[in-house]
Chains A and B, each alone.
Chain A
Amino acid sequence: MDPAFRRDDEFRNDERHVEMTVSAEHSDGLPVILPGVTLTSLSSHIGDAVLRPKMPLWWWIGFLFSLALLLVLVIASTWLFVNGIGIWGVNIPVAWGLAIAEYVWWIALASGGTIVSALFYLTRSPWRAAISRIAESMMLCAAASAGIMPILHLGRPGFFYWLFPYPNAMDIWPQFRSPLLWDFVCLLCYILMSLMFYYAGLLPDLATIRDQARTRGRQIFYGILALGWRGSTRQWRPYKTVYLIMAAIMAPMVVSVHSVVGLDFAGGLTPGWHSTQFPPYFFFGAVISGIALVILLTIPIRRAYALQPIITEYHLNALGKIMLTGSLMISFAYVWEAFGPFYGSEVAERTMFTERVFGLYAPIFWATIVLNVALPQLLWWPAVRVNEALLALIAVGIIIGMWCERFVIVVTSLHRDYPPSEWGNYAPTLWDWATFAGSIGLFLTLYFIVLRLVPIVPLAELRELLRDTAPR
């Protein structure tokens, strides 16, 4: 054991201190940090990973693959700008196709990052620290992919700035009563707030990298980004306050973001959408799919960066439990969604629901149920929650399942509207799929750049955790 911690006994025996840091969480006997990690080894391990002169092969392979996918997005959106959204399969009645389904899908994935980093900061969960940077980076990258989707979907993407309430020569204003505008405001605020939250969390770590940097260019780059942070007591005190305040604001924010996305649908007079359960229903989807993506990123990063001592089975276990909780929550919403049409007296609702479950798109509906409801039940077994391969498999299943769910909500509702004269089918075209693949490319490219530039675990927080969890 590092002698630095043995002498910390004075602090840990202070009752007030214990009260501040002890979490009521049940650990299942797994350690949150493996013994042997010290302040020195932590900083040098993570610092070396950021400052290595050459990135390893896995990074280059991943980055170039992502870049190739991003190129697909560039080509697909250029073709879209030239030809208009007629190149997609969307038409009346199914005017919202893959682009909107994927917008909802991406924003749910993004929300998972904030759920981990803000909600579980407030609960003082000890597993949150080591994976919060992975999760928050994921949030920002996924929000970029989410943000481009509705813009591409606009008939005339060049005019997207008309959504801003700015004084203009046309003397008109956006429709402030529309959920679609709420959604725009919401997403914009969410991304700006997340950037500030991310940067605030990153600041002390940037100072660590600045102090470890040996080349002039990196010293200047990280020196400017770190703003001259020196870890003074007079800086840490407002820092702690501001981080807590930001987390306390981000937590309700992330709940509202996906709820407002739900209102986009609930506000529409379409069978299957016009339901008061949509805001929480969508937030449940954010919990399950967001955590799934956090797991899917944590498992390879943990291996690639040899982070097993700080991202332990404790973390996987905790994430697995949350994913299971998310699955139960969304299952509840599915039951309610099936109950509604048969409890009410609206024939169109029943027609649409029957068509959803047994019609053309039924395989996608049942895939949703299998992947989001049935498969995650494996997580009841503790052995599954600490098995990387099974966790990753379930997480991939959920991410695909949530994509199916979004597709089903968007498409099946529109393809059986009230009058039978408005019935019609939708099939994505090659360009729909190209845009989808490209949005994954955008996410991955941004994420690989983050991996290159940013310490992937929050060092300052882990140092605190190290002190709090040192054996007594």
Chain B
Amino acid sequence: MSDPAALYGIIGEFPTPVGAVAAARQLREIRLRLIDAYTPYPVEELDEVLHTPPSLGVALTTLAGAVFGAVSSTFVQYWAAAIDYPINVGGRPYNSWPAFTVSSFEVTLLFAVIGAFLAFLASSRLPLLFHPVFGAADFARASQDRFFLAVEAADPHFDAATVRAILERHGAAPIDEVLG
């Protein structure tokens, strides 16, 4: 894959998600695994056909962010109010934790969202300004109104002629070779 002139894969353009799903199913059947689809909106059927891994990482990182936010904000308030700068106001307790819960709640949510956002970038491999598929003919329409299916040449079961035939049978046009 390091040779820039080498074949990255074959990509087909479909007018509807139905053709792309059917083609993906058949490509999976001949044991191709390095398949990806590029669609203008999420097509849940493609997740199933392509066995896209569920994004558990996003959920777990959100939880981790929330725990970090809760613990750190509570600690900062406790430490400042009870240890570093205790002020005796009419004998009230220094660690007046009920008064700390509001700020802790907000900071918990903030870090949960930060965690979710970073995990999303990591799991979708962004930012990545260049990708070989951007070179495919007409690929600009993948973000508008067309559905693309790409098979990588690195797949051990990759055979250009077979892939082309399957894409064509399900209505892909044009079918393009992508260099990368």
Contact = CB atoms under 8 A, between A and B. Distances in A.
Interface of A: 3-4, 7-8, 10-11, 17, 20, 38-40, 43-44, 47, 165, 171-174, 176-177, 179, 181-182, 185-186, 189-190, 192-193, 196-197, 200, 204, 207-208, 210-212, 223-224, 227-242, 245-246, 249-250, 252-253, 256, 260, 263, 459-461, 463-464, 467
Given A232-B37, A234-B36, A236-B42, A176 B119 contact: no
B102 A182 contact: yes
Interface in B104-143: 105-107, 109-110, 112-114, 116-117, 119-121, 123-131, 133-134, 139-143
A7 B55 contact: no
Interface of B: 15-19, 36-47, 50, 52-55, 57-59, 62, 76-77, 80-81, 84-85, 96, 99-100, 102-103, 105-107, 109-110, 112-114, 116-117, 119-121, 123-131, 133-134, 139-145
Contacts of A459: 40
A233 B100 contact: no
Contact of B17 (A8, A246, A249, A250): A8
B130 A193 contact: no
25 contacts: A7-B19, A11-B18, A17-B44, A40-B144, A43-B40, A47-B144, A176-B77, A186-B106, A192-B113, A196-B114, A196-B117, A212-B144, A224-B129, A227-B121, A228-B128, A228-B130, A230-B134, A231-B39, A233-B39, A238-B119, A246-B117, A256-B105, A263-B102, A460-B41, A464-B42
B141 A242 contact: no
Contact of A211 (B45, B85, B100, B143): B143
B100 A176 contact: yes
A189 B100 contact: no
Nearest to B49: A233
Given A4-B15, A200-B120, A245-B59, A227 B106 contact: no
Contact of A233 (B46, B85, B110, B133): B46
A192 B110 contact: yes
Contacts, number: 209
Contacts of B41: 204, 236, 460-461, 463-464, 467
Contacts of B117: 196, 200, 242, 246
A25 B40 CA distance: 27
B47 A233 contact: yes
